[in-house]
Amino acid sequence: MNWSVTLPILSVLLVLLGAAVALRVRSGVLWPWSKPRPFRSARVEEFADKLQKAIIFLAGEGENLWAAAMICPCGCGEVIELNLLRQARPCWSAVEHPDRTVTLTPSVWRQKGCRSHFIVRHREIVWC
Ligand SMILES: [Zn+2]
């Protein structure tokens, strides 16, 4: 093996790896709790088996929304489903904003698992 060629290539690879790690840290992938991640909303006909993080899925037609689903923002990975139909209890209301974000009222308080308690307001998760 020719080390005079291999070593510079290795060092370049190490620098690239370092830059990739730094970017991941900056974008909050390694430490998601250090910076609030923007939450978006997405309309679906029905919820997929595997949801994406940081997206609040809204199921419904036009103005009539019947359910919302999201991955718990605490990082536990659990799926949270919320009823949006007024005929059933408990019931949340979801207001969609033009910037494809959503505000949910009242707050979400998980009674099992991580017991997270938070408010979804536009693109932010506000912890209670
Ligand atoms: Zn959680």
pLDDT (tens digit, 9 = 90+) per residue, 59-116? 999 889 999 999 999 999 999 999 999 999 999 999 999 999 999 999 999 999 999 9
User: What is the per-residue pLDDT for 17?
Assistant: 83
User: What is the per-residue pLDDT for 35?
Assistant: 53
What is the rounded CA–CA span in Å between residue 10 and residue 77?
36
Taking the centre of ligand 1 as the mean of its atom positions, its distance from the CA of residue 76, in whole angstroms, is 4
Would you say the pTM of this structure is higher than 0.85?
A: no
What is the rounded CA–CA span in Å between residue 10 and residue 100?
44
Residue 62 has which token pair?
């036009």
Average pLDDT over the chain, rounded to whole?
88
In the structure, ligand 1 is a single-atom ion and the residues with CB under 5 Å from it are 72, 74, 76, 114, 116
DSSP string over 90-126? S--EEEE-TTS-EEEES-EE-SSTT--EEEEETTEEE
Taking the centre of ligand 1 as the mean of its atom positions, its distance from the CA of residue 123, in whole angstroms, is 18
- Taken as a whole, the chain contains a residue count of 128
Taking the centre of ligand 1 as the mean of its atom positions, its distance from the CA of residue 23, in whole angstroms, is 25
Half-sphere exposure of 70 (CA within 13 A, CB side): 26
Residue 58 has which token pair?
């809204």
Where residue 10 falls among pLDDT bands split at 50, 70, 90?
Answer: confident
Domain boundaries, the chain: 1-32, 36-127
Taking the centre of ligand 1 as the mean of its atom positions, its distance from the CA of residue 9, in whole angstroms, is 43
Half-sphere exposure of 107 (CA within 13 A, CB side): 12
